[in-house]
Amino acid sequence: MKKKTAPRSETADFMIFLVKLALFVIILRSFIVSPFNIPSESMQPRLMVGDYLLVAKWPYGYSQYSMPLSIPLIPGRILANEPERGDVVVFKAPPNANDDYIKRVIGLPGDIIKVTNGAVFLNGTPLQRKKVEDYTHLVSPNSQCFAQYFETTNEEGERICRYPQFEETLPNGKSYRILDVIGDSAGDNTESFVVPDGHMFMMGDNRDRSADSRFPAEAGKAIGMVPQDYLVGRALVSVFSTDGSAEWIKPWTWFTAARWNRIGDGFE
């Protein structure tokens, strides 16, 4: 006679559900997509403080930095692929690989990079750059002006920041908008950099507000050359954006603070 098994309790079923859910989230965040929020102005105009995006994990392969908390479960880097110039990528910042940064790939192994009077030279040739319409955004808790003289008002009388904007084009044809508004800033004139094997030269689109590969790696500040092994993933799509004016005790502000026009923007 077959022995009857005792039915599982609701508590046991709930715990099993939580374990399955946790495994699903770990797999999703480690191998498919993970969320990332923008904490600084270094990637304006493409990204603003308060933007939330999804980062694709599969384009460049997997390493311990693909895992939550960088758990060292993956030896080395598997299914590795090199990024393309112009990709917007999330990576662990040198020298300690503790913090997540987001920048644009400008140089790959063997490239020679130099910045002269704000113009980026790649292998001796300046990147194409042309002036386009000014970049503007509303003044908000998440988006203040660099300086008072950039602040003005729009036709509705709202406070806005207005900056000169340029379109820069890489040799592979990829174009993007940049800001370069402060004359003779710290990164406008550099030495020549040769990108080592297995590394990348990264720059922020907001050239005057980005501590990137133009400066030596220092924890919590600039990043120097970035090892490709430190890659986390490629920016995929913006899923939410807030101007920082929301208050928890005022639920209606959760909606009025949202920058709806920035949601759904993809990255080419």
Distance in angstroms (rounded) separating the CA atoms of residues 76 and 265:
33
pLDDT digits 0-9 by tens, 106-156: 999 999 999 999 999 999 999 999 999 999 999 999 999 988 889 999 989
Q: Which two tokens stand for residue 160?
A: 């806005």
In a domain, 229, yes or no: yes
> Of the candidates 51, 268, 56, which has an alpha carbon nearest to the alpha carbon of residue 177?
268
In a domain, 13, yes or no: no
- Can you give the pTM of this predicted structure? 0.87
Please, are residues 165 and 181 in contact by the beta-carbon 8 Å criterion?
no
In a domain, 22, yes or no: no
β-strand partners of 176: 168
In a domain, 106, yes or no: yes
Residues 6 or more apart whose CB falls under 8 angstroms from that of 171 comprise 85, 122, 125, 127
In a domain, 50, yes or no: yes
> Of the candidates 118, 172, 162, which has an alpha carbon nearest to the alpha carbon of residue 137?
162
Distance in angstroms (rounded) separating the CA atoms of residues 114 and 192:
5
Q: Which domain holds residue 123?
A: 33-262
Q: Give the type of residue at 77.
A: R
> How much is the pLDDT for 50?
94
> How much is the pLDDT for 124?
95
In a domain, 21, yes or no: no
HSE value, Cβ hemisphere, 13 Å, CA-based, for 20: 6
- CATH code of the domain covering residue 91: 2.10.109.10
> How much is the pLDDT for 108?
98
| Helix H or strand E segment including 256 | helix 253-256
User: How many Cβ atoms from other residues are within 10 Å of residue 156's Cβ?
Assistant: 7
In a domain, 25, yes or no: no
Positions in the chain whose pLDDT score sits under 70:
1-8, 13-14, 17, 24, 28, 268
> Of the candidates 105, 142, 111, which has an alpha carbon nearest to the alpha carbon of residue 240?
142
Catalytic residue numbers read 42, 103
> How much is the pLDDT for 3?
55
In a domain, 100, yes or no: yes
Q: How many domains does the chain have?
A: 1
